[in-house]
């Protein structure tokens, strides 16, 4: 999970008209996540339409008054949205990547996400949304293997120029538009590769 920037609502009248799925609004939310699920960072739109997610559930008895509130909407994959469903914990709400820095509550190690500094909110977010579900771990593991192979290949390049270009390409894989970028960034840091990869590549 990565920090996201909430866009300005492009069609506020649709919310007034009680339509939270308006195409322009959904596209804005989709674009804000680069087509990824706001929770698990899986690429969504190449295999599915994606869901407009209510961060605080709109169900009766919970937050029906927020059903059409722009600040309560996000973009998620169907699996995370369905798994999260109407769950909500007042004493430890789910981490909201639009309003806070997820890295304060959870971190990636290998293909798994873990709670940071005993954060109950991080633990509940991981457990109740299923951020370490088997399918996700399998996909992240494949990504980790590919990154590890690329890192090893980079270190074998003799040309400093080509080596730097290879490191830059690796850093691009940790960009916000890439699938599982938070996990990739963690692996690159563990491999000694940071934004200042020139120090490694020299």
Mean pLDDT for 25-34 is 96
As a whole number of Å, the end-to-end CA separation of the chain is 31
> Any bridge partners for residue 74, and if so which?
53
Nearest alpha-carbon partner for 81 in 98, 111, 99, 57:
57
pLDDT at 196 over 70: no
Percent of the chain with pLDDT over 90: 74
Mean pLDDT for 111-132 is 96
pLDDT at 104 over 50: yes
> What is the spatial distance between Cα 114 and Cα 105, in angstroms, rounded to a whole number?
9
Mean pLDDT for 137-149 is 93
What is the per-residue pLDDT for 167? Answer: 86
Q: For 10-19, 20-29, 111-120, 164-173, which range has the lowest pLDDT when averaged over its residues? A: 164-173
What is the per-residue pLDDT for 195? Answer: 56
Q: Where do the domains of the chain lie, and which CATH numbers do they carry?
A: 12-104 (3.40.1800), 136-201 (no CATH)
More confident residue, 166 or 86: 86
What is the per-residue pLDDT for 176? Answer: 92
- Under the banding of pLDDT at 50, 70 and 90, the label for residue 127 is very high
**153 contact partners, CB below 8 Å, separation of at least 6:** 166
What is the per-residue pLDDT for 154? Answer: 85
In this predicted model, what pLDDT tens digit does every residue of 31-42 receive, in sequence order? 999 999 999 999
pLDDT at 202 over 70: no
Mean pLDDT for 127-141 is 96
What is the per-residue pLDDT for 200? Answer: 46
> What is the spatial distance between Cα 99 and Cα 33, in angstroms, rounded to a whole number?
14
Q: For 63-77, 89-103, 130-144, 165-179, which range has the lowest pLDDT when averaged over its residues? A: 165-179
Nearest alpha-carbon partner for 80 in 121, 103, 50:
50
The average confidence (pLDDT) of the chain is 91
């Amino acid at each position: 999970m990565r920090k996201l920037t909430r866009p300005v609502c492009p069609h506020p009248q649709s919310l007034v008209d009680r339509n939270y799925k308006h195409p322009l609004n959904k596209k804005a939310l989709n674009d804000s996540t680069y087509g990824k699920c706001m929770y698990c960072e899986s690429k969504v739109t190449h295999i599915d339409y994606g869901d407009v997610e209510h961060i605080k559930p709109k169900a009766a008895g919970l937050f029906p008054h927020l059903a059409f509130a722009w600040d309560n909407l996000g973009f998620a994959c169907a699996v995370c949205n369905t798994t999260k469903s109407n769950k909500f914990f007042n004493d430890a709400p789910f981490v909201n990547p639009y309003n806070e820095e997820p890295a304060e509550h959870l971190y990636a190690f290998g293909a798994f996400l873990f709670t940071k500094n005993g954060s109950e909110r991080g633990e509940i977010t991981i457990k109740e949304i299923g951020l370490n579900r088997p399918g996700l771990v399998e996909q992240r593991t494949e990504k980790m293997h590919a990154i590890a192979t690329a890192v090893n290949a980079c270190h074998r390049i003799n040309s400093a120029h080509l080596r730097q270009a290879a490191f830059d390409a690796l850093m691009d894989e940790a960009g916000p538009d890439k699938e599982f970028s938070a996990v990739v960034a963690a692996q690159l840091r563990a491999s000694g590769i940071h934004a200042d990869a020139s120090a490694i590549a020299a």
